[in-house]
Amino acid sequence: MNKAKSIKNLLSVQDLAENEIYAIFNRAKNFKGGFISNEKPLSDKKIGMIFEKSSTRTRVSFEVGILELGGYPLFMSSKDLQLGRGEPIKDTARVLSRYLDGAIIRTYEQERIEEFAAYFNKPVINGLTDLYHPAQVLTDLFTAYEVKKDIKNLKIAYFGDPNNMANSWINLQVLMGFKLVLAIPEDFKINEKALAFSKERGGSFIVSHNKTEAAKDADVVTTDVFISMGQEIDDAKIKKLMPFQIDETVIKLAKDDVIFLHCLPVHRGEEVSEDIFEKFSSNVFEEAENKLHVQKAIMERIFA
Ligand code: CP
Ligand code: NVA
């Protein structure tokens, strides 16, 4: 492995510090307000985007963001690369490293992006893995911060599958110190890596198997699909998760000014009821827009 130690990646939220996250949020706010439209911090930088899974928001917002920052995005679906025919990820990384100035990867195992990053002599950003979705969770907290003007005193309640979004919330809680409750079925486990990071760094979150307890006085309620990309449709799993649906009961127990967030795409009638999704759709589509602003701030920090 030839990667210089000084290269900064964003493979998970664990790669950031609290002050960097506030700096990203401040920059994102300025990007959103149109205050820094003339600066081109990625001028002439070629950024590869290697996606091994589907994407609407992450792909388009990163691609547009790179263009707005003066860089040149190259989108590569793994199907179009020799990677899709079995070329090792470490060889792909060593070749692309000679052409590109940075990469955004969406893939399966976290070990796969870690291996890519180890052999790619330029910075790498995680655009979602089975384990984490750091750019998304930063966008979500930014959206909550924008509305609530607070982070430390927020109660954020996540309902449903303890997946890449839940793991990312656990990481972010360690750094930002809000109150986090994860409402999950009794026989579902929190990922060991996310748990270990929280323990090591003195984070704290509550695991609840009780939807009403989790919802009580929440400032932010959030969820994600029950079946993530790369997982088989599993009716038994969906059945166990259904009692954790965000519905009217959850909203009634939460604070009066609660907001609902969802990274999208949504499965109406599974993780959230149709009514509640539509009622809070303005929050959710603001969150989708915020991906562009937050990711520009992330890219400026990692690639510029
Ligand atoms: N939220 C999110 O990552 O959406 P996409 O899968 O469309 O990129
Ligand atoms: N947990 C979902 C998030 C999609 C943006 C997935 O991995 O498919």
pLDDT given at position 5: 65
Angle between helices 18-32 and 281-303 (to 10 degrees): 110
Evaluate if residue 4 carries a pLDDT over 70.
no
Q: What amino acid is encoded at 113 in this protein? A: I
Evaluate if residue 180 carries a pLDDT over 70.
yes
Pocket of ligand 1 (CB under 6 A): 55-59, 128, 136, 263-264
Evaluate if residue 241 carries a pLDDT over 80.
yes
Burial of 64: CB neighbours in 10 Å, binned 0-12, 13-18, 19+? middle
Residue 158: Cβ within 10 Å count: 29
Domain ranges of the chain: 13-133+291-303, 136-288
Evaluate if residue 2 carries a pLDDT over 80.
no
Determine if ligand 2 sits within 6 Å of the CB of residue 165.
yes
Report the alpha-carbon distance of residue 83 to residue 90 in Å, rounded: 10
Q: Tens digit of pLDDT for each residue in 91-139?
A: 999 999 999 999 999 999 999 999 999 999 999 999 999 999 999 999 9
CA of 37 to the centre of ligand 2 (A): 31
Task: Give the chain's largest Cα–Cα span.
Answer: 55
CA of 265 to the centre of ligand 1 (A): 7
**Index of the ligand 2 atom closest to the CA of residue 228:** 8
Where do we find the tokens 């449903």?
160
Domains 13-133+291-303 and 136-288 share a fold: yes
Evaluate if residue 198 carries a pLDDT over 60.
yes
pLDDT given at position 38: 87
Mean pLDDT of 64-68: 98
Nearest CA to ligand 2 atom 6: 228
Average pLDDT score, the chain = 97
What whole-number percentage of the chain has pLDDT above 90? Answer: 96
Options 3.40.50.1370, 3.30.70.3170, 3.40.50.720, 1.10.3720.10; CATH of 136-288: 3.40.50.1370
Contact 142, 290 (CB under 8 A): yes
Q: Tens digit of pLDDT for each residue in 12-57?
A: 999 999 999 999 999 999 999 998 888 899 999 999 999 999 999 9
**Index of the ligand 1 atom closest to the CA of residue 56:** 7
Report the alpha-carbon distance of residue 174 to residue 196 in Å, rounded: 11
Mean pLDDT of 247-256: 98
| pLDDT-based confidence at residue 6 (cuts at 50, 70, 90) | confident
CA of 43 to the centre of ligand 2 (A): 31
223: left (phi over 0), alpha (psi -120 to 50) or beta: beta
The CATH superfamily assigned to 13-133+291-303 is: Aspartate/ornithine carbamoyltransferase (3.40.50.1370)
pTM over 0.75: yes
